[in-house]
Amino acid sequence: MIMWEIIAGMMILVLVLSWLPVRGLSYLSQEKARELMASREEGRIKVLDVRDASDYEEAAGFPSINMSIGRLPYLWKDEFSPEDRVLLVGDSNRHIKKAARFLKRRGFKGLYAMQLRSELRALGTCREKTCGAGCP
């Protein structure tokens, strides 16, 4: 009986932690994300898309590194170093925060986040070269 109470307590703790904010993670407005994306051309920031590969392939609208949450612990060193500034994007705020916590524990300081959905159109990053009012 005590074992089930411990398991239930741990599950509740995990759920609570997934809702807490991540210290050092800055959520960006569409305008700020656009500025950050422009600075990326100078090599100052990398974009990490934490969606599953199938979702990424279906809707990838801008150059980014796709690494789902399950692959992040094994592959992060191939693409990132703690000196990099990283813009985390994904459909799930929970996945974004999980990736941010993971990277923060490895010494990353410049972490930014933006949830994907309608933001792609606002950033002018959909598949069409001339994204704007006519963007699907």
Residue type, 98: K
Count the domains in the chain.
1
Contact 45, 39 (CB under 8 A): yes
Phi, psi of 66 (to 5 degrees): -95, 120
pLDDT at 39 over 90: no
pTM of the prediction? 0.71
Q: How confident is the model at residue 102 (pLDDT cuts 50, 70, 90)?
A: very high
Residue 21 DSSP code: P
In a domain, 20, yes or no: no
Domain that holds residue 57: 25-123
- Taking alpha carbons only, the member of 42, 103, 51 closest to residue 73 is 103
In a domain, 136, yes or no: no
How high is the pLDDT of residue 11? 85
In a domain, 32, yes or no: yes
We report the CATH number of the domain holding residue 112 as 3.40.250.10
Q: How many CA atoms lie within 13 A of 42 on its CB side?
A: 6
